[in-house]
Each structure stands twice: as structure tokens, then as C-alpha cells.
Amino acid sequence: MVSYVRKSPGFKPTTPQTYEDLGVSNSLVLDLILRRMLLEGFSNLGRLSQQLKLAHPIVEGTFRHMRSQQLVEVKGMTGNDYQFTLSQAGKQLASERFQVNQYAGACPVSLGDYHSATKAQSAKVDVDRRTLKSCFSDLVISDRLLDDLGPALISQSSIFLYGPSGNGKTSVAERMLRIYDDAVLIPYSVEVDGQIISLFDPVVHNKLDYEENPDIDPRWVLCKRPCIVVGGELVPSMLELKLDEASGIYSAPLQMKANNGILIIDDFGRQLMSPRDLLNRWIVPLDRRVDYLTLRYGVKFQIPFETMVVFSTNLEPSDLADEAFLRRIHNKIFIEPVEAWAFDQIFSRVAHSKHLQPDPDSAEHLRKLCLREGRTELRACYPSDIMNIMLSIARYEQRPPLMSRTDLERASNLYFAKG
């Protein structure tokens, strides 16, 4: 399998030392420090610099302004660092700013800097059949399918995986992330029109352990390229900014969190959101690589749409979308039912992983069981699903699991619905 450490990101923003280089307003920095100190009660320049991911000169400049406005009270020195608290006037102002917005984390980056970073980190891959065999080595995949996937992955445009259920469409989609051998920088948050959009999400962004480079702007987090999977729970609101009324902070939508990575729409066509609504929402982003979001009070702005969207479905593409939309999805890959040789390999791998000892003809016997009662196709999921039932039967009968013909037939009868 391809090793995933990651090359240094090509985008390397230097740590801003002045307000001009920071890209956000002085008042926003002041508000961050006020809110942070309201939460902390007692602080110093070094701690604020670390918590807000700001260079010392910027924090010190804001502190001097606050001191001149009598917003802070100096309580002493530790080495060359001031120890201070908010004055009564500072607490009052901080409370007012906290009512508007409660964000007190890393200083956001500007929308312009986010645009530039996302474009600079757009994925460029170079794969061949040998590379893909390594990436998908834990799946049994035909060379024909690898040769379909290769050009699609190199293009980094949208992909439509379709075909009967149970043949590994989701497994294939989730492993596409392995083609990347680099890392990307993702900002903690982005500022738009004075509003803060929280972007880095530890639930979906896999932060890498690394020795921090003091020359790189600490407002950015080094991560694996993201891979976000969403299925039947997808609703229109997940594709728009979400404002938390209590905190005044916006959460980034799915496609923004997936920038510079992969967004998988699993079981496409079975969402609460209709396929037509989703496709209409993304017809421009897929075509032009930009998306548009709107703040609560009507300000609309553009964000990059640098994500490879993978649609996975067992429904017919023509039943889900019209020709105009399907034309924008350049790569349509059919995941076909497995052939006998592939089924036997999957059977062998699953049996080994579950510590079962099959007889020489067990795979052939299971194939025959799977093709009884008018069934005409073998599915990649059958061996694992049926062996899980066999293990449950053995536990129920309080005995070691066996790969006998009797148990295979009993598990198959439980698995397949009667016609």
C-alpha cells in the first residue's frame, strides 16, 4: 500500500508580523484578545500569542493600544513578559463583544488568503496500474476496473460509480484517498465581512503530528487531504453555512470542509434531499470549480470548489439526473458483479481474516448457493456477510465455528430472502 507521509505542503504561508500581512482588521484582533481575556481572567503576551496563533509583535501592538485605552491593568512582569488582567472598562467592552460573537480561538485567515491557499494546494496525482494495485491491495479488483479508475483519478474531476449493490462501490471510493502522498494546510477559521467561519473540524480533518515550523503561519493546520463521506442523512442545510445563534459563529458546509480532498455522496438517490435538488445546487460548482455561500444578512461570497466529488449509487444514472448534469460528471464507472475467480479470492481472504479453515471446494459450494433460486449475479459482499452469520450460529450453539457444507447452507438460507 502507498505510504502516506506526507510530503511538505507546497503552500507555505509565513507567519505575519504586521497587521498589514495578517489580512484581517485590527478591530477583529482586539475583539479576539478581549474575549480570550474575558475567559482567562489573567494572561500574558506569550500565552495570548500561543492561544490566538498570532506573532508576538501583533499581540504586543494590540496590548499597547489596550493599555493606552485603559482596557487592561498590568499586575507585574515575568521575565520580559507583562502579566495583566482586564480593567473594569475592558471587562465591559469584552462582555459587549462576547454578546455579538463568542469566538476566542485561533485568529482567522482572510477569504482572499483561503482562496489562494486552496488553489495552490489543488491535488495533482500521477498514478498507473501498479500504483493503483498498491492503493487497493486490500480489495479484489480487476485490471479492467483499475484501468477505468486511473484516468478518472488523474483528472481529479467528479466521478460517478454505479452498479448493483454489494460490489464495493463505497469501499473503492473510500480508498481513493490513498492516491495522495502529500499533506495540506487547512485554516482554523476564515473571516468574511467581519464574520467568522469555523473550518478546521477534528471530526473530519486528520491532523498530522509534526514538528511545528516557526516560519509557517500557525493559523493553518497540517492535515491529510480530507475524505468526507455522507449518505442518506444529507439534507440541503448541510451544503450551506450554519450559524450557531448562541455563539454567533458560522460552521463551514461539507463541500468547504472537503476542499483539497474527496467528498463521497454514498447511496446517491436515497437521500432526504432529492437528486435533482442536489444536482441543481452543484451544477455551477462542478462546472466552474467555485461555489457561492450567503451570510445570514444576505452577503453572498465565493469560495473555491477544489474537491473531487464521488457519487456512488446502485440506481440507474439516467433515472437520477438529466443529460445536462451527467455531462458535467466526466467519469462514469460501472462496478460490475464479481466474476467467479474474484469471488473465490474474496472468500479466501475473508475466511483467513475470520480464522476459518475452509475445505478446498467451500468457495465453489458457496457460489452455487448464492446462485440458487433464480439469482444470476455474484456480489462481493456475500462471503463476508454469510461468514458472519456462520460465526453467529456457532456462538448460538456454543461451539467452535466450522466451514462445513451444512453451516454454509444454513447461513445462506438465513441471508437470502425467499423468492
Residue-wise pLDDT for 385-413, tens only, equals 999 999 999 999 999 998 899 999 999 99
Q: How far apart are CA 105 and CA 53, in angstroms?
A: 8
Question: In this predicted model, what pLDDT tens digit does every residue of 198-224 receive, in sequence order?
Answer: 999 999 999 998 766 777 899 999 999
Question: In this predicted model, what pLDDT tens digit does every residue of 112-170 receive, in sequence order?
Answer: 999 999 999 999 999 999 999 999 999 999 999 999 999 999 999 899 999 999 999 99
Q: How far apart are CA 264 and CA 227, in angstroms?
A: 7
For residue 123, the one-letter residue type is A
Provide the β-strand partners of residue 192.
195
How confident is the model at residue 322, as a pLDDT?
74
Element (H, E) at 37: helix 26-40
Q: How far apart are CA 145 and CA 142, in angstroms?
A: 5
Q: What mean pLDDT comes out for the span 21-50? A: 95
> What torsion, rounded to 10 degrees, do the Cα atoms 17, 19, 22, 26 define?
140
Q: How far apart are CA 349 and CA 417, in angstroms?
A: 26
How confident is the model at residue 2, as a pLDDT?
42
pLDDT at 70 over 90: yes
| Average pLDDT for the chain | 92
How confident is the model at residue 6, as a pLDDT?
46
For residue 180, the one-letter residue type is Y
How confident is the model at residue 341, as a pLDDT?
96
Q: How confident is the model at residue 283 (pLDDT cuts 50, 70, 90)?
A: confident
Q: How confident is the model at residue 417 (pLDDT cuts 50, 70, 90)?
A: confident
pTM value surpassing 0.75: yes
Question: In this predicted model, what pLDDT tens digit does every residue of 320-370 receive, in sequence order?
Answer: 777 777 777 889 999 999 999 999 999 999 999 999 999 889 999 999 999
pLDDT at 319 over 90: no
Q: What is the CA radius of gyration of the chain?
A: 27
Helix axes 362-370, 382-396, angle to 10 degrees: 100
Q: List, in order of start, the domains of the chain with CATH numbers.
A: 25-107 (1.10.10.10), 115-334 (3.40.50.300), 340-415 (1.10.8)
Instruction: Specify the DSSP class assigned to residue 4.
Output: -
Please provide the DSSP assignment of 42-101 as one string.
Answer: SEEHHHHHHHHT--HHHHHHHHHHHHHTT-EEEEEEETTEEEEEE-HHHHHHHHHHHHH-
How confident is the model at residue 4, as a pLDDT?
39
Q: How far apart are CA 317 and CA 163, in angstroms?
A: 9
Q: How far apart are CA 72 and CA 94, in angstroms?
A: 11
Q: How far apart are CA 386 and CA 410, in angstroms?
A: 9
> 29, exposed or middle or buried, with CB in 10 Å at 0-12, 13-18, 19+?
buried
